[in-house]
Amino acid sequence: MVNYKMLQNVKVVNTDNLAETLLDILNTEGYKRPLFVMDGFLNTVETVVAAKQKLADNNIEYAVFDKIVPDPPAEVVDAGVKAFNDNNSDSIIAIGGGSSIDVARGINIVRVNGGNIRDYAGESREIAHTPGLIAVPTTSGTGSEMSNALVITNKETQQKIAILADNAVSEYAVLNPDLVLTLPKGMTIATGLDAFSHAAEGYLSNLATPMTDALCEKVMFLLYNYLPTAVHDGQNREARERVMVAASLAGWMLNNAGTNIGHSTAHILGSKYHIVHGEAVAYALPGVLELVGHAMPKKVREIGQILGATFPADATPEQIIEITVTSYKDFRDNVLGLHSFTDYEISSDEIVKNADEVLHERFAGNTPVDLTVDNVTAYLRKFGQQ
Ligand SMILES: NC(=O)c1ccc[n+]([C@@H]2O[C@H](COP(=O)([O-])OP(=O)(O)OC[C@H]3O[C@@H](n4cnc5c(N)ncnc54)[C@H](O)[C@@H]3O)[C@@H](O)[C@H]2O)c1
Ligand SMILES: [Fe+2]
């Protein structure tokens, strides 16, 4: 039996009126000077403009920091901390994808705990409870609105640094599926596959528990059944809502089961070769299934079943791996339509040079097999090739 504990410290609010809900939250919590953290595009979206107007009309003196870029470097967090302090802010409303919400979490950590966000890489530095983060996701992928993680890029080393902080989860996650209706097809595919990889890797993690397993199964089920409609009929609100719920539940799961070598691969390769995060984890997943298939054949089979595959009763681990990988690739490439990795024009010889870094990345230790340079090299050789 596995003994486990599972906390859910984020207050989740689903709303069709973002402006009203944000005002309610600020009034309930007594926040009077929020800092909006987002990118230039989201700052102009109608729902966001209406929310700012509503706050202004109600004497809330908000400020805006709209300098978020994808795969944000640590310097963006520095600039955000300065904006927070210059404006004498007392809370943060982060609106956007993982990049915006991660930076907002970084700003919140530093404004409460001091120092510089770079000081919090690794596990040594304590992070005190950091209230005041209201996260509004506009992609359905990272689950950052519910998770304890933030991922920033070190520009000098071209590496992504993952920081984990249970004390820095959002105070509120505000879900408004209308915000996701504008998400372009390519980003819907990539972010949806990111959420799928969270669930699949969390399911195949050393830290998995029966409760995280149940979440992972439901997240994969929802994505298998609703992500295709969200991709091909982006205005379908029901599909968008289901996919958003799946991504957020996966974010909560991440705090407990984490991810595995699939995300390590994305963190190392993503920042070095500028591979979109959700695409990187999707190109990695078939290799992850192969790598752990002998250690966890039952779970790999269950992933296959969720993906619509059937298995002979006496299927060997090799057959289970092959059938599940085929089903996943069909879902990824044919049903959703992820573009081919060859578009990035990066050779396998280049990819395998990163074996040592992938092996030592933070999440690799969650992988339920002994990792060596040899087996990680063999795994990387297949990255994006299948
Ligand atoms: N905190 C976590 O637990 C966690 C987990 C996985 C990944 N990440 C990190 O999150 C980042 C990726 O986040 P992401 O995939 O959400 O993308 P993102 O936040 O980088 O956004 C990508 C692009 O999509 C645009 N966009 C966002 N919402 C939109 C909308 N509704 N309509 C139109 N365009 C929209 C943004 O303007 C941006 O240009 C990476 O840095 C990754 O490493 C974090
Ligand atoms: Fe991810």
Q: Please, are residues 379 and 261 in contact by the beta-carbon 8 Å criterion?
A: yes
pLDDT given for residue 295 in this prediction: 97
Say if residue 121 is in the same domain as residue 265: no
pLDDT given for residue 304 in this prediction: 98
pLDDT given for residue 276 in this prediction: 96
pLDDT given for residue 251 in this prediction: 98
Residues of the chain with pLDDT under 70: none
pLDDT given for residue 162 in this prediction: 86
- CB < 8 Å & 24+ apart, contacts of 213-221: 213/299, 215/249, 215/250, 215/252, 215/253, 216/250, 216/253, 216/257, 217/302, 217/306, 218/246, 218/249, 219/195, 219/246, 219/247, 219/249, 219/250, 219/253, 220/196, 220/303, 220/306, 220/307, 221/306
pLDDT given for residue 30 in this prediction: 98
Q: Would the CB of 142 count as within 6 Å of ligand 1?
A: yes
Q: Tell me if 367 is assigned to some domain.
A: yes
Say if residue 210 is in the same domain as residue 236: yes
- Specify the number of domains making up the chain: 2
The last residue of one of the domains, among 180, 195, 221, is 180
Q: Would the CB of 97 count as within 6 Å of ligand 1?
A: yes
Say if residue 22 is in the same domain as residue 134: yes
Say if residue 95 is in the same domain as residue 157: yes
Which runs of consecutive H residues, i.e. helices, occur in the chain? 18-29, 46-57, 74-86, 98-113, 185-203, 210-232, 237-257, 261-273, 277-292, 297-306, 317-329, 348-352, 355-359, 373-381
* Closest residue CA from atom 12 of ligand 1: 98
* Closest residue CA from atom 21 of ligand 1: 97
| Ligand 2 center to 277 CA (angstroms) | 7
Domain of residue 103, CATH code: 3.40.50.1970
Q: Tell me if 109 is assigned to some domain.
A: yes
Q: What residues have their beta carbon closer than 5 A to ion ligand 2?
A: 194
Say if residue 142 is in the same domain as residue 162: yes
| Ligand 2 center to 285 CA (angstroms) | 12
pLDDT given for residue 271 in this prediction: 86
pLDDT given for residue 211 in this prediction: 97
Q: Tell me if 267 is assigned to some domain.
A: yes
Say if residue 117 is in the same domain as residue 189: no
In whole angstroms, give the CA distance from residue 194 to residue 265.
Answer: 13
| Ligand 1 center to 264 CA (angstroms) | 17
Atom of ligand 1 nearest to the CA of 180: 31
pLDDT given for residue 159 in this prediction: 83
| Ligand 1 center to 96 CA (angstroms) | 7
pLDDT given for residue 289 in this prediction: 98
Q: Tell me if 250 is assigned to some domain.
A: yes
Say if residue 152 is in the same domain as residue 293: no
- Tell me which residue range forms the domain holding 64: 11-180
Q: Which residue is listed with tokens 């359905």?
A: 140
Say if residue 370 is in the same domain as residue 327: yes
pLDDT given for residue 38 in this prediction: 98
Q: Specify the amino acid at residue 4.
A: Y
Say if residue 211 is in the same domain as residue 174: no
Name the DSSP class of 333.
Answer: I
Q: Tell me if 268 is assigned to some domain.
A: yes
Say if residue 86 is in the same domain as residue 209: no
Q: Tell me if 1 is assigned to some domain.
A: no
Domain of residue 360, CATH code: 1.20.1090.10
